[in-house]
Amino acid sequence: MDVDRGVPTIVEAARQIKAGMLSPVALVETCLERIEKYDSTINAFHTVFIDEARKAAKQAEKEIESGNYRGPLHGIPVGLKDVFYLKGYKTTSNSRVMEDFEADEDAAVVTRLRDAGAIFMGQLNTYEFTFGGRPTFNALYPPARNPWDIARSTGGSSSGSGAAVAAGFCLAALGSDAGGSIRTPSAFCGVAGMKATFGRVSAFGDLPLSFSFDCVGPMTWTSEDSALMLQALAGYDERDPGSVETSVPDYVTPLNDSVRGLKVGMLRHFYTTDYDAPTEIVDAIDGVGETLKGLGAIVGEINVSPLIDWHAVGRVILPAEAYAIHEENLQNRWEEFGPLARNRMMLGSLVRAVDYIQAQRRRTELLEEIESALAEYDVIITTAMLTPQPPLDDKAPFPFLDVPMIAVPFNLTLHPVQTVRAGFFDDGMPIGAQIVGRNWDEATVLQVAHAFEKEAGFLKRFPDLS
C-alpha cells in the first residue's frame, strides 16, 4: 500500500490553505502530477483542465492572500462527472448522442462550487447516460478502472468520480444517483458518498436518468469532507422542479458530537436472508453496528419487505422513466447509442401504464415501512454492495437480473444516505455500508458516519497505484 493517498483531505487542505501553510497552486500541481502519472491507466478523466485549473489556482491564491477567503472549499481541486452543464465545454454523458452538446449555462451545483472557490480539474467518466450495471467499452470514452485493482469495476454510474477520489486525482468529485450511482462506486472504490434527501441539492443542469428520484451529491475521501461539500451544494433552486424550499442546517459543527444514545437499526435481512452475501460483507456491515454500539449507540434490528420487492419496483420505474427521457433519440439516433445503454433503456418501452402505476403504488407502501422504522431509530444501516467488485470486462448484459439492486430502496423512499468504507475483503478490496437517515436529516447521517470512520480507522489504507 502507498504510504498515503498523495493528497490531503479537504479538511486538512482547507486548514493549511487558510493558515497560509499550503498554496492552492501547489495543491493543484500535485493533483495534476498524479493525473499525468497514473490516469492513463485509471481513465478517471476524459478531459483535464490543465491550463484552466492552474489559472484558477493562481486566482484563488491571490484572493486568499488579499484576505478574501471564501471558506473551506476555496482552492480545493474538484472533479466533475460529465453529466453536468458546464458553459464552454461539451456535456456528453459518455454518449455519442451528446458528443456535440454544449449547454449555454452552468449546472446549479457547478455554480455553487465555483462561488465557494473550488477549482475544477476536469470532466470525469461515467457510464453512458448514467445507466449503471456494468461499464461498456464502446461508448464515447473508455471506462474508468478501480484504483484498488485496475482489472475490477468501479461500479457505476459515477465511475470516474469514485476512481478519481480514491486515486487522489482530486479532493472531491460530483456524482449523480438514480439507483445507486453515487453509492455503488463509492463502495466499490472505498470512498465516502452522499445521496442527500431528494430535493436538497438542485439537479438543474444535470442530465437525468429518472424524473422521480435522480439526485446530485458529493464523493470524497471522508464523511467529514462530504459535510463540507454538502454545505456548499445544498439549497433551494426554483429552476429545479424537484427542489424543496427548506432551511439548510449546519452540517459541519455537529460532526464530532457523541453518538451515545442514538438508536441504530440494522437492516440485516437484505444481505443475509434476501440475498446470501459473502461472509466478508456480512461481517463488515455487522461490524459497523458493533463499532457504533461500542461508542454508546443503541443498536437493534429492523425488518421491512424483502429486498426483491424493492428491486422489482425499481426495475419497473427506472427503465420506464429512462425510456421516457430518451425516447426521441432512441427512435431517431438508435445507432449512436452504445448497445448496453440502449438495450437497458429499451426495457422501459415494454412497461405498461398499469405496471408503472402499480409500481408507484407499491413504492408508497415501501416508503411507509422505512418511515415507520425511522420513527423508532435515528438511522438505518445496511450494506452498499452484495458482491465483490466484478471484473471490469464482465459480459453480463443485464447484471441486475443476477443480483438485486441494494441501493435502489433509498432512491424509492427519497431518504438521505451516506456510504462509508466498512472494511475489506481478504484480497484487499474495500467494502461499503449505507447509513440511512430521516428526510432532511443529513446532519445526523453524517455525524454517525464520521463517528464510525474515526473509530474504525479503515481510511488509513490506500490503493497502491505503482
Helix-helix angle 353-376:307-332, to 10 degrees: 140
Residue 466, pLDDT above cutoff 90? no
b/e 217-254 (16+ beta carbons within 10 angstroms → b) = bbbbbbbbbbbbbbbbbbbebeebebbeeeebeebbee
**Confidence at 119, pLDDT banded by 50, 70, 90:** very high
Residue 227, pLDDT above cutoff 80? yes
pLDDT at 167: 98
b/e 303-317 (16+ beta carbons within 10 angstroms → b) = ebbebebbbbbbbbb
- What is the residue extent of each domain of the chain? 10-309+344-460
For the domain with range 10-309+344-460, which CATH number is right: 3.40.640.10, 3.40.50.11240, 3.30.420.10, 3.90.1300.10? 3.90.1300.10
Helix ranges, 66-179 (H) = 108-115, 159-167
Is residue 60 within 8 A of residue 75, CB to CB? The reply is yes
Of 158, 181, 186, 202, which one is the catalytic site residue?
181
pLDDT at 400: 59
Question: Annotated catalytic, 181?
Answer: yes
DSSP 3-state of 154: coil
pLDDT at 1: 39
Q: Which of 267, 370, 356 is nearest to 313 (CA)?
A: 356
Give the integer Cα–Cα distance in Å for 357 and 355. Answer: 5
Backbone angles phi, psi at 263, to 5 degrees: -100, 125
Span 379-404, mean pLDDT?
86
Is residue 192 within 8 A of residue 223, CB to CB? The reply is yes
Residue 279, pLDDT above cutoff 90? yes
Give the integer Cα–Cα distance in Å for 200 and 417. Answer: 12
Span 153-162, mean pLDDT?
96
Of 93, 157, 186, 202, which one is the catalytic site residue?
157
Of the two residues 211 and 386, the one the predictor is more confident about is 386
Give the integer Cα–Cα distance in Å for 177 and 216. Answer: 6
Give the mean pLDDT of the chain: 96
Q: Which of 231, 120, 117 is nearest to 169 (CA)?
A: 120
Question: Annotated catalytic, 161?
Answer: no
Residue 313, pLDDT above cutoff 50? yes
Q: Which of 72, 28, 57 is nearest to 169 (CA)?
A: 28
pLDDT at 137: 80
Q: Which of 387, 400, 375 is nearest to 432 (CA)?
A: 387
Span 74-101, mean pLDDT?
97
**Confidence at 320, pLDDT banded by 50, 70, 90:** very high
**Confidence at 2, pLDDT banded by 50, 70, 90:** very low
Question: Annotated catalytic, 157?
Answer: yes
pTM equals: 0.97
- For the record, the C-alpha cell of 383 comes out as 450494506
Of the two residues 81 and 339, the one the predictor is more confident about is 81
Q: Which of 415, 377, 382, 384 is nearest to 299 (CA)?
A: 377
Span 262-287, mean pLDDT?
98
Q: Which residues lie across from 420 on neighbouring strands?
A: 433
Give the integer Cα–Cα distance in Å for 26 and 136. Answer: 36
Span 199-227, mean pLDDT?
96
Of 81, 93, 95, 159, which one is the catalytic site residue?
81
pLDDT at 7: 97
Minimum mean pLDDT range among 164-178, 263-277, 400-414: 400-414
Q: Kindly state the greatest CA–CA separation across the chain.
A: 62
Residue the block writes with cell 405496471: 355
Span 221-235, mean pLDDT?
98
